[in-house]
Amino acid sequence: METKNALKPAKKCYSHIGGKLGELLLETFADKKWIAKNEASDKHFYITELGEKEFAKLGIDLTKIKSEAI
């Protein structure tokens, strides 16, 4: 068991992961081209075809995500 000082925070912000873990996940998924933006200035990312395949390999059910116009 890890000591309290060794624990790494995974913060929940409303209904998503926030904090450093959320930031690292976002950066990693973007670097791997699992998520992307239409324009660099866009606020929102979309899941790419590659991302759909790779998230499925991790057992993540993307059907639980509502589609949104971007």
Model pLDDT for residues 12-67, shown as the tens digit of each residue: 878 888 888 999 999 999 999 999 999 999 999 999 999 999 999 999 999 988 77
CA gap 20, 23 in Å, rounded: 5
Residue matched to tokens 């959320």:
22
CA gap 55, 52 in Å, rounded: 5
CA gap 62, 55 in Å, rounded: 8
Both tokens assigned to 3: 């000591």
